[in-house]
Amino acid sequence: MSAAPGRPRQADAPAVSSAAPAATSVGVALAIDVHDLTKNYAGRAVVDHLQLQVGVGRICGFLGPNGSGKTTTIRMLCGLLTPDAGSGKCLGLDIIREASAIKRQVGYMTQKFGLYDDLSIRENLDFVARLFELPNRRSAVDLALERLGLTARQQQLAGTLSGGWKQRLALAACLIHEPRLLLLDEPTAGVDPKARRDFWDQIHDLASQGITVLVSTHYMDEAERCHELVYIAYGKILAHGTERDIIDNAKLKVWSIQGDGVQTLLAPLKSAPGVLSVAAFGNAVHVAGQDAEMVERALAGVRQKTALRITPAPAKLEDVFISLMATVQDNFSIGGDTRKENA
């Protein structure tokens, strides 16, 4: 894992347990295989009996609103948090009994940049290599610098880097010990589009080498670049599959409304029976629901405005996720302690 904030500390014991990943009934090797994973805070289930399987070499997008349990799940998978209930394996290792061994085979990239601003790029990577007690530390650092295109900047202080270069440094730190699984928690937040695209090219290259990636994101264009997606809301998985599977299984009926004054329709349509989502897409508004007749009734008043064009539209991933949110309730919204996890 990349170094966590704080000054140097003793690394885990160097002995590494290794195990073969689990496999499904059809013989697909699994890098992540957990069942009924549960974590409670202040009496509320932040992660609620979660089941998750991700195959080796797959890129799995982990999506959901803030406070939905993504970060807590990731921390349980890499051994930083102990589940209150549930069981499973990462990389063939038990997430409870072999958490220390999992940490040494996983690269975890946190939401917030966790390296030292007052150290250079090379010094940060050397520090992480020391934590993992790598035998050929210098060559490992050289390889990490070259892999992420950081060699020319290696003496630059981390605190002077832009968001995109900090992201590269953080990923280099995650990869320096040659992990088999990457857990990336909103790694591209606040990064410009080109840097995001370059980052995703690197992720696909790593997956082609057999590294499994679980990556949380709020960007739909990034979700579309994943092999499969998991959508979690308030501790429960609402959808899991490929982009096409999730869209098809949602069975959404979507209409696109275009024309002058279309934005004024957002509020009244959102409260209409049968409408699960109303969202602006450029100059159009998408209205979606599973019951076509109910949505048509909601649109009846809108159709009287001849300046507007209303046409059926294919469902997008964003339509599905907004609609899914309409079916669940925030488990912290009714009384009690309102403290939540980060994501």
Name the domain boundary from 246, 265, 280: 246
What is the pLDDT at residue 337? 47
Least confident of 7-21, 146-160, 246-260: 7-21
240 and 262 share a domain? no
Range of the domain at 267: 253-314
- Once rounded to an integer, what is the mean pLDDT over residues 31-49? 94
- The Cα–Cα gap between 244 and 246 comes to 5
Report yes or no on 85 lying in a domain.
Answer: yes
**CATH code: domain of residue 296:** 3.30.70.330
Q: Is residue 240 within 8 Å of 86, Cβ to Cβ?
A: no
- 196-232 pLDDT, tens digit per residue, is 899 999 999 999 999 999 999 999 999 999 999 999 9
How many structural domains is the chain composed of?
2
In a domain, 114, yes or no: yes
Among 111, 118, 108, CA closest to 158: 118
| Same domain (yes/no): 81, 149 | yes
């630059």: which residue's tokens? Answer: 156
The answer to whether residues 200 and 295 belong to one domain is no
Distance CA 290, CA 295 (A): 8
CATH assignment at residue 172: 3.40.50.300
Give the pLDDT band (50/70/90) at residue 342.
low
In-domain check, residue 7: no
Statement to judge: residues 119 and 43 lie in one domain: yes
Q: Which residues pair with 280 in a beta bridge?
A: 285
Residue 119: exposed, middle, or buried by beta-carbon count in 10 A (0-12, 13-18, 19+)?
middle
Has residue 144 got a pLDDT over 60?
Answer: yes
In a domain, 260, yes or no: yes
Residue 343 in any domain: the answer is no
Asked if residue 268 and residue 240 are part of one domain, the reply reads: no
Q: Are residues 309 and 164 in the same domain?
A: no
Place 301 in a pLDDT band, splitting at 50, 70 and 90. confident
| pLDDT top residue among 251 and 7 | 251
| pLDDT at residue 39 in the model | 96
pLDDT of residue 333: 60
Shared-domain flag, residues 37 and 124: yes
Task: Tell me how far apart the alpha carbons of residues 226 and 248 are, in angstroms, rounded to a whole number.
Answer: 17
Domain's final residue, options 203, 231, 246: 246
Which of 67-71, 279-283, 336-340 has the weakest average pLDDT? 336-340
Contact 303, 323 (CB under 8 A): no
330 in a structural domain? no
- 238 and 163 assigned to the same domain: yes
Q: Are residues 186 and 286 in the same domain?
A: no
Q: Are residues 132 and 218 in the same domain?
A: yes
Among 141, 71, 84, which residue's Cα sits nearest to residue 112?
A: 71
Question: Would you state the pLDDT for residue 9?
Answer: 38
* Tokens linked to 150: 């950081």
| Distance, CA of 101 to CA of 8 (rounded, Å) | 20
Among candidate residues 231, 246, 261, the one where a domain is terminated: 246
**For range 184-202, the mean pLDDT:** 89
The whole-angstrom separation of Cα 316 and Cα 267 is: 21
56 and 191 within one domain: yes
CA dihedral of residues 89, 95, 101, 102 (deg, nearest 10): 70
How crowded is residue 87: how many other Cβ atoms within 10 Å of its Cβ?
14
**How much is the pLDDT for 326?**
78
- Residues 240 and 265 both lie in one domain: no
pLDDT the model gives residue 233: 92
> Is residue 343 scored above 80 in pLDDT?
no
For residue range 89-136, what is the model confidence (pLDDT) as tens digits? Answer: 999 999 999 999 999 999 999 988 899 999 999 999 999 999 999 999
pLDDT at 42: 87
With respect to residue 261, please indicate whether it lies within any of the assigned structural domains.
Answer: yes
Answer yes or no: is 338 within a domain: no
Transcribe 84-101 into DSSP letters.
SEEEEEETTEETTTTHHH
